[in-house]
Amino acid sequence: MTRYDLPDFAPDLLAAFATRRAERVHTPVIQPADPFLDMAGEDLRRRIFLTASETGTSLCLRPEFTIPVCLRHIETATGTPKRYAYLGEVFRQRRGGAEEFYQAGIEDLGERDVASADARAIVDAMDLLRVVLPGQAQTLSLTLGDQAVFEAVVAALGLPVGWQKRMIHAFGDVGHLEALLDRLARPQPVTGLDPEIEALLSADRQDDLIARLERRMEETGYSTNASRSPAEIARRLKEKRELAETRLDGSALLLLREFLTLRLPLAEASAALAGFADAADLKLGPAIAAFDARLAALANAGADLSAMTYRAAFGRPLDYYTGMVFEIVASGGAEVLAGGGRFDRLMTLLGAQSHIPAVGFSLWLDRIEALRDAAQGKTGEPE
């Protein structure tokens, strides 16, 4: 498949979308850049092709479909629940691969039965791969993670809110998480502050600190265009100092590291999480209950749990995910064929007037095409 060719199995996907009552939508190739820069995460931000309008508005070539589909839903004031399907080109800077390629997928917006919607996204992703990879269903394996469970563990350990935010932001990035754990084990003092400001912080003289910052801003002329007030800067300095001085005791660090090493068949994950919570004396009830409900919904949908693995540290490199995330690969392969997850906060961040729960997934059609080509080359027969 060249980078401009629509895969020959595209009609099969469109037919499968229709049977799943997912309305196909089209979104412009040129998109406003800010939503992606603000909400998509560092991994995608550095791959975006940026440009600007005549008026200086930041624009980009469409790097993915979730944000454009959500924006379209908000703009058209369509009610929920609503299922959307898409199939089209995305544009990303990639090493060793085409920078223009096709993705397809489904976004499920507004379904209040979260467990059932999660299960449906997983089952639909697996089923669609079976449609376009006939004869290779037994080679597919799925890895699942759950940010909500991780958030519950971090909260139960009693970390300050600022540290909880840091840890949650790093979820799925093993290297970043390990660096944060090292900092919690060996706190480093804040350095480079003006001695007077340092003294005021140490003495917790908040009013004097704000007055000193205000004078400094006036002396430098910074106050004329400052984006933060002296009070806000003082609050941020205090918060930064407190976070830098936070230390997690050895037993709590061991518990967090133990949790992050959990990796087992999905069918065994609920019991393992409950056992971990009991042994660690952590209150994880609501998060584990939601996890159990999703597992039950998967079983009711006939999902093959033996082809699925739970990894406590697994996440996906998009900042807007909030709960369950998953990826599907072919056994022995490293490239993701399908991936998705839950993004319950995204709709509100994009401008929706009310909370809209959401989950979805995408298929990487160039990678699927490569697998099909490889299968044909081995057999010498058309599919």
Match 């379904």 to its residue by tokens.
111
Tell me how far apart the alpha carbons of residues 315 and 147 are, in angstroms, rounded to a whole number: 7
83 is in an annotated binding site: no
Short-list 129, 151, 162, CA closest to 344: 151
Tell me how far apart the alpha carbons of residues 205 and 228 are, in angstroms, rounded to a whole number: 19
86 is in an annotated binding site: no
Please give the CATH superfamily to which domain 10-153+264-379 belongs.
Answer: Bira Bifunctional Protein; Domain 2 (3.30.930.10)
Structure pTM?
A: 0.83
* Confidence tier at 239 by pLDDT (50, 70, 90): low
320 is in an annotated binding site: yes
Instruction: Assess contact for 316 and 338: CB atoms under 8 A.
Output: no
Short-list 315, 178, 176, CA closest to 257: 178
103 is in an annotated binding site: yes
**What is the full DSSP assignment across 111-180?**
-S-HHHHHHHHHHHHHHHHHHHSTT-GGGEEEEEEEHHHHHHHHHHTT--HHHHHHHHHTTT-HHHHHHH
- In residues, how long is the chain? 383
92 is in an annotated binding site: yes
Listing from the earlier edge strand, what are the strands of the sheet with 23-24? 23-24, 82-91, 100-109, 358-364, 338-342, 324-330, 140-146, 308-311, 263-265
* Confidence tier at 283 by pLDDT (50, 70, 90): very high
Q: What percent of the chain clears pLDDT 70, i.e. is strictly above it?
A: 87
Structure confidence by residue, pLDDT tens digits, 114-131: 999 999 999 999 999 999
Reduce the DSSP state of residue 55 to 3 states and report it: coil
66 is in an annotated binding site: yes
316 is in an annotated binding site: yes
DSSP annotation of 67 reads H
pLDDT of residue 1: 41
Every domain of the chain and the residues it spans: 10-153+264-379, 195-245
Tell me how far apart the alpha carbons of residues 291 and 300 are, in angstroms, rounded to a whole number: 14
pLDDT of residue 4: 59
pLDDT of residue 188: 63
* Confidence tier at 201 by pLDDT (50, 70, 90): low
4 is in an annotated binding site: no
Instruction: Assess contact for 139 and 330: CB atoms under 8 A.
Output: yes
